[in-house]
Amino acid sequence: MQEFNYHSIRAEKARFGNAIVGLWRIVLVVVAIAFAIAGAAFFMVGEAIGWLLLGATAIPVVILEWHRGELFDVPNGPTEKLSDTLSSALLGGIPKHPTPLDIAQAAMKTPSGQFMAVRFGLTSNFFANIISNDTSATPQVWELALRTQQEAGVPQITGAVMAVALTRSFAGYETILAHMKLEDEDLLQGIAWRQHLRELRQIHQAPRRTGGIARDWSFGYTPLLDRFGRNISAQLASGGMLRTNLETHHKALAAMTDTFSTRGRQNIVLVGPSGVGKSTLVYAFAEQLLDAGSTLPSHLKFRQVIMLDSAALIAAAPGRGELEGLVMRVLSEAHRAKNIILCLDDAQLFFEEGIGSVDLTNVLQPILEAGAIRMILTMDEQRLLQIGQRNAVLFNSLNRVNIAEPDRREVIRVLEDKIIVVEHQRKVVYTYHAITEAYRLSLRYIHDIAMPGRAFKLLEAAASYADGSFVTSESVQRAIEETVGVKVGVATDEEEREKLLNLESLIHERMINQTRAVSVVSDALRRARAGVRNQERPIGTFLFLGPTGVGKTELSKALADVYFGGESRMVRLDLNEFVQPEDVSRLIADGAEDPNSLTAQVMKQPFSVVLLDEIEKAHPQVLTTLLQLLDEGVLRDIKNREISFRDTIVIATSNAGAERIREYIDRGYKLEQFEEQITNELISSGSFRPEFLNRFDEIIVFRPLTKPELLQIIDLILKGINKTLALQKISVTVDDDAKMYLVDRGYDPRLGARPMRRIVQRTVENTVAKLMLAGNASAGQTVSLSLADVQSIFASEDAAKQVIEETTS
Amino acid sequence: MLIVGFLGWWYGAGWRARMVAIGERLAKTFDFFSVDLLLRTWFAPFRQIGTDQAQPGLAGQMRAFFDQLVSRIIGGIVRTIMMIVGTFVLVATGIAGIIEGILWLFVPWFPVVGAILFAVGWVPYAGV
């Protein structure tokens, strides 16, 4: 069993070291200076007491020196035991007979304990609530601390290690972690993060070998390159950068060193999507070259990496000939200087004509082939292939190095490093949750850029939503909600919760009956906003079956309007326009070519209702394409980008089986009694394949509307018309018998309630218009339409039929 | 106990750390003047001045040769001066380091020495 030795020499040193902080350090410095000055002054006047004072000066000096050299961070003892591995900051704060709570308080006073408090929420208050104040529980804490230290692979039991061990010592550890939305692995990652920052500081404090004053004397001046390029090496030499030692970068760095060390073609093309870290890799390579202590060949050491600025070159030489001449002079200067490695970032800008880019293949190709100048090019896969298509010789002369997207663990490590700069610039502190949330959300909502760039972009944006200078997971959620217009957090504000709880009644304000459909859709939305749905699928996928004009589309519109923020939040596709196999490409077209493709619209508006109308008319290949969407909530567009549909409600509508539904209803069946039968019939008739229908969460049958329901629809339509007329301060009422007359005229068994709106609008609006023109209706007046008024408009059956025909045409 | 710990560190790890720091300072000075590099490139053209590709013809080649020669002579002079200065500074830094290393051993006894001298009553400027 591990025991804490309060009286060990290491513990005494640690306590003394902890005592010499802040004011005491200042006092010691002041005393040393005062003694030295006073001693010298007494000497000047010939007093022997000067000896005493000068000698005494050594006391504060040696204490300060001892503190700096040992007490500040007492090294580990010779054994693996507790007293030898506790960090001095922690060891110095632990009392003689500590309880777990005492240990927690000591840990929280250490810098690494405070780190865990800030980044993970493991604060003093948190421990005060869960940790025992009984000394009998202390040995268990020591055991856990040692085990945690070994698991984390760190040399000392720091405040961070102890914070994790104390959390683990709590009986309800798993529950607590779940409540904090953390996993055990996250806490170990936190310890590693803290340790990494400590090591980075040590690297930066370590003396640097720069090559000295004469390093560049044998190499030429580069005035042109200084003007049209950015000297990365000079930047690194002056300020340095934080290094992340990534597995994914090791191979690429080795390949770069290898290429430039041998006699082959002296170029490297780093191929990978934007945001994957190509530029970071160039920086890492440049930093490696500056390290005098590295094992690089001497002909590579201290070479300067200069990134050419294409915009500056184009701006300085407007004509093509002038530009080629200028580039030739720049290249010649690089060649003459003998220590330059040129970097063409986004190299496609130098190999194709376009806005801000110019094709300099004729100038660059001979140099790349001959290898006269060392060059690093960066570009994405597609651009490289395009160059290859145009110019196979150029393509073959490039030494390609692929940069793969790092995995989640590595992305988190990169982000931990990169946020340090943002924290310094924006005066904010990121919690660990903010980082993991940025990873999760950016993966889903940010396109056109790879990891870790996409997550970092989101973290930067989240700094604007910091809460009391803390960037939390909520800040990240708000950032994505504001920029993408999607709701990602659990509904917390009162207004939204009210809306969710009363969704059915809100939808029924503009929709009559179809209660089952309304309730199923509302439930799906409530599940999503309460955070209990499957995050790897759309919010809900529904197939609405039923005859025309029974409210299938209206429900989709109502949903978009009531919850998603307006009818414009509905992405609607008529699948009767997708009847050919080649129409699949239109479905997933790139937004730049077809902004109305399904993927382009959802990429722009990921929080929406997706309405796939008349799905039975789509080509089977189109339906197959949609399977992945229904299953996993993603669809790959033509550029192979993964577009997320996980924040959409997907509604497909179909008239298939409408006749059978009517038959069942006419025979007196209730919906619940024949829903399954209808589905089976659709499969057996070949209208849909079973694997397609099985992908939907629910298949909802809409039944034809009854006359009383049509009367209610007329009321809804009148409400809408009155809303329009409110601008003229006129309102309209229609007598009940007149409404019944309109129902008789407007109802068509084939078209449901669809002609109704036209009939009512024409009747009411025409009448009001005539009355207003005749001066019989003015502001503040209520126009009342009787049966006779309505009948006069529909004097004959034909008039109504004509209107119906117009609707259907 | 603490005093023992202090003395143990001062004459053990503390002194070694001081020696390492002095060594680092010397290495930094050496790196700054990079005498080895100066030696290796003693007569290399200074800043590649005048090392443009030679013009065709004998006259052009002669001109390039003389340009290079001038550049190498300038380089040789500048590097020689720098090597002399560098060597001087390195030696001075080394001597300062040795003195510092020796002085380190006596610092903890300064209060005792001061107390004895105070008791003796001798002062350097007494009677001046």
pLDDT in tens, A166-189: 999 998 888 999 988 899 999 999
Residues of A in contact with B121 (CB under 8 A): 48
Instruction: Work out how many domains chain B is built from and give that number.
Output: 1
Give chain A's mean pLDDT: 87
Give me the pLDDT at residue A805, please: 63
Q: Scanning every residue of chain A, which has its alpha carbon at the shortest distance from the alpha carbon of B49? A: A220
Residue A571 has pLDDT above 90, yes or no: yes
Average the pLDDT over B6-24 and give the result: 95
Residue B54 confidence (pLDDT): 55
Q: Which of residues 243-302 of A touch B (CB under 8 A)?
A: 292
Q: How far is CA B74 from CA A321, B46, B67, B78, in A?
A: 38, 6, 11, 6
Q: How far is A370 from chain B (nearest CA, A)?
A: 17
Q: Is residue B58 part of a domain?
A: yes
Q: Does residue B27 lie in a domain region?
A: yes
- For residue A222, with 0-12 CB atoms within 10 Å meaning exposed, 13-18 middle and 19 or more buried, which class applies? buried
Mean pLDDT to the nearest integer, A565-592: 90
pLDDT at A389 over 80: yes
pLDDT digits (tens, 9 = 90+) for A639-670: 888 888 988 999 999 988 888 888 888 788 87
Q: What is the pLDDT of residues A412-462, one digit of tens each?
A: 999 998 898 899 999 999 999 999 999 999 988 888 789 999 999 999 999
Query: How far from A81 is each of A9, A77, A132, A136, A149, CA to CA, in Å?
Result: 14, 8, 24, 19, 12
Q: Which comes out higher in pLDDT, residue A275 or A209?
A: A275
| Model pLDDT for residues A324-338, shown as the tens digit of each residue | 899 999 999 999 898
Report pLDDT digits (tens) over A115-140: 999 999 999 999 999 898 999 999 99
Give the model confidence (pLDDT) of A397-411 as tens digits.
899 999 988 899 999
Establish if B11 belongs to a structural domain. Answer: yes
**Residue A693 pLDDT more than 70?**
yes
Provide the 8-state DSSP code for A446: -
Q: Which residue of B has its CA nearest to A50?
A: B118
Would you tell me how many other CB atoms lie within 10 Å of the CB of residue A602? 22
The per-residue pLDDT for range A341-353, each reduced to its tens digit, is 999 998 988 888 8
More confident residue, A64 or B60: A64
The answer to the question of residue B40 being in a domain is yes
For residue B128, tell me if it sits in a domain.
no
- What the block records as the tokens of B69 is 């020669």
pLDDT > 50? residue B128? no
Q: CB under 8 Å to A692, separation ≥6 — which residues?
A: A623, A627
What's the pLDDT tens digit per position in A490-504?
666 677 788 888 888
Reply yes or no on whether the pLDDT at A240 is more than 70.
no
Whether B33 sits inside 8 A of A212 (CB atoms) is yes
Average pLDDT, chain B: 89
Please indicate whether residue A525 or residue A801 has the higher confidence score (pLDDT): A525
Whether B85 contacts chain A with CB within 8 A = no
Residues A649 and A441: their CA atoms lie apart, in Å, by 18
pLDDT given at position A799: 58
At residue B125, the pLDDT reads: 64
**Prediction ipTM score:** 0.88
DSSP A276: S
Q: Which domain holds residue B42?
A: 2-120
The answer to whether A730 and A772 have CB atoms below 8 angstroms apart is: yes
Alpha carbon distance A551, A559 (integer Å): 12
* Contact residues, chain B, for A62 at CB < 8 Å: 6, 10, 107-108
Chain B residues with CB-CB distance to A215 below 8 A? 34, 37
Please state, in angstroms and rounded to a whole number, the distance separating the CA atoms of residues A598 and A643: 10
Tracing tokens 């196979």 back to the chain, one arrives at A392
A264-280 pLDDT, tens digit each: 889 999 999 999 989 88
pLDDT at B92 over 50: yes
pLDDT of residue A574: 92
At how many degrees (to 10) do helices A707-725 and A754-773 cross?
A: 40
User: Which position has the higher pLDDT, A20 or B49?
Assistant: A20
Identify the closest residue of chain A to B4 by CA–CA distance. Answer: A9
Tell me the C-alpha distance between A136 and B112, whole Å. 48
Quick check: B50 contacting A, CB < 8 Å?
no
Greatest mean pLDDT among A90-104, A230-244, B33-47:
A90-104
pLDDT over 80 (residue A150): yes
Q: Could you tell me if residue B127 is inside a domain?
A: no
Q: What is the mean pLDDT of residues B101-117?
A: 95
Q: Is residue B69 part of a domain?
A: yes
Q: How confident is the model at residue A243 (pLDDT cuts 50, 70, 90)?
A: low
Query: Is residue B126 in a domain?
Result: no
